[in-house]
């Protein structure tokens, strides 16, 4: 969407997008793939090294004629030129940022999105676990683009939302009071005679349930 919003002009240079987005060339090229692919809304001089982006006139004309069209703008989840070890580090980094965003919003309830990005970026990051194949370790940092991407992901999950009157303000979305509260796990086991109830039922409601009996001993 960031790329498409620039198309009030006839053409847009990739170098301009790199400067305004602050992304690396590899990440931007990865995001451009669904837009410049066959049947996409944009065309370029070269798919491998695009320099100038233009509107795909064939797609635009079909749209003006009322032909229905849909496009998946989100690129397929892949990691760019990284080995399995680095991919695991990236995954842990994203999960850490997700949790940090939710933790901050639970405390603040609402705040300006710029302040949220600043808080997350300045918070000390958790060190990735040591691996036999990756000696050393160390803490990982996060850029503004990383944080904004994770904020959008948390919004899509429904944990955080924009204020209707002021879209620059983000609000924490509390859980429905009718749903169990998270944080306290209560483990109960059903009767051994029923195969369906023989597995562990992990509940997150701290209140005792009327149908749940206390477990005196675990039998295996």
Top-confidence residue, 176 or 30? 30
Report for 67-76, 105-114, 139-148: range of highest mean pLDDT: 105-114
Q: Look at residue 56 and tell me if it is in a domain.
A: yes
Name the DSSP letter for residue 16. H
Residues 90 and 161 in one domain: yes
Q: Look at residue 71 and tell me if it is in a domain.
A: no
Count of C-beta atoms within a 10 Å radius of residue 108: 15
pLDDT band of 30, cuts 50, 70, 90: confident
Residues 93 and 119 in one domain: yes
Q: Look at residue 52 and tell me if it is in a domain.
A: yes
Which tokens go with 102?
Answer: 């939710």
Q: Look at residue 187 and tell me if it is in a domain.
A: yes
End-to-end CA distance of the chain: 55
Do residues 48 and 29 make contact, with C-beta atoms less than 8 angstroms apart?
no
Residues 125 and 98 in one domain: yes
Do residues 43 and 53 make contact, with C-beta atoms less than 8 angstroms apart?
yes
Q: pTM for this one?
A: 0.39
Residues 149 and 109 in one domain: yes
Residue with tokens 């919004």, as numbered in its chain: 155
Cα gap 207→201, rounded to integer Å: 15
Question: 124: helix, coil or strand?
Answer: coil
Q: Look at residue 23 and tell me if it is in a domain.
A: yes
Residues 95 and 138 in one domain: yes
Residues 162 and 138 in one domain: yes
Residues 161 and 92 in one domain: yes
Residues 102 and 42 in one domain: no
At 41 the pLDDT is 73
Residue with tokens 């066959």, as numbered in its chain: 38
Burial (CB count <10 Å: 0-12, 13-18, 19+), residue 50: buried
Question: 200: helix, coil or strand?
Answer: strand
At 207 the pLDDT is 45
CA angle, 84 then 86 then 87, to 5°: 60
Q: Look at residue 177 and tell me if it is in a domain.
A: no
CATH number of residue 106's parent domain? 1.10.10.10
Q: How do 52-55 and 110-112 pair as beta strands?
A: unpaired
Task: Kindly state the average pLDDT of the residues 125-149.
Answer: 56
Residues 41 and 96 in one domain: no
Cα gap 82→3, rounded to integer Å: 25
**Measured on CA atoms in the order 147, 152, 153, 155, is the torsion positive or negative?**
positive
The whole-chain average pLDDT of the chain stands at 66
Residues 91 and 146 in one domain: yes
Question: 88: helix, coil or strand?
Answer: helix
pLDDT band of 198, cuts 50, 70, 90: very low
Residues 166 and 188 in one domain: no
Domain limits for position 43: 4-64
Which tokens go with 154?
Answer: 């948390």
Among the candidates 18, 34, 64, a domain finishes at 64
Name the DSSP letter for residue 76. P
For a pLDDT cut of 90, what percent of the chain falls above it? Answer: 0
Residues 111 and 137 in one domain: yes
Q: How many domains, the chain?
A: 3
Helix or strand run (H / E) with residue 145: helix 144-156
Q: Look at residue 76 and tell me if it is in a domain.
A: no
Among the candidates 12, 35, 64, a domain finishes at 64
Q: Look at residue 74 and tell me if it is in a domain.
A: no
């Amino acid at each position: 969407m960031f790329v498409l919003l620039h198309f009030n002009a006839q053409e847009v240079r990739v170098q301009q997008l790199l400067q305004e987005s602050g992304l690396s060339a590899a990440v931007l090229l990865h995001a451009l793939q669904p837009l410049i692919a066959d049947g996409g809304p944009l065309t370029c001089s070269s798919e491998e090294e695009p320099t100038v982006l233009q509107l795909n006139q064939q797609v635009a004309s079909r749209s003006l004629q009322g032909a229905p069209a849909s496009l998946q703008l989100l690129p397929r989840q892949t990691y760019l030129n990284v080995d399995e070890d680095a991919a695991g580090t990236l995954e842990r980094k994203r999960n850490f940022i997700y949790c940090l965003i939710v933790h901050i919003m639970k405390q603040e309830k609402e705040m300006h999105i710029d302040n949220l990005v600043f808080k997350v970026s300045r918070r000390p990051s958790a060190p990735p676990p040591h691996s036999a194949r990756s000696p050393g370790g160390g803490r990982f940092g996060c850029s503004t683009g990383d944080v904004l991407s994770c904020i959008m992901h948390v919004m899509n999950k429904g944990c955080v939302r924009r204020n209707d009157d002021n879209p620059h303000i983000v609000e924490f979305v509390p859980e429905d009071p009718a749903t169990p509260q998270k944080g306290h796990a209560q483990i109960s086991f059903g009767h051994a005679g029923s195969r369906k109830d023989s597995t562990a039922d992990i509940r997150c409601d701290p209140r005792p349930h009327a149908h749940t009996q206390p477990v005196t001993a675990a039998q295996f």
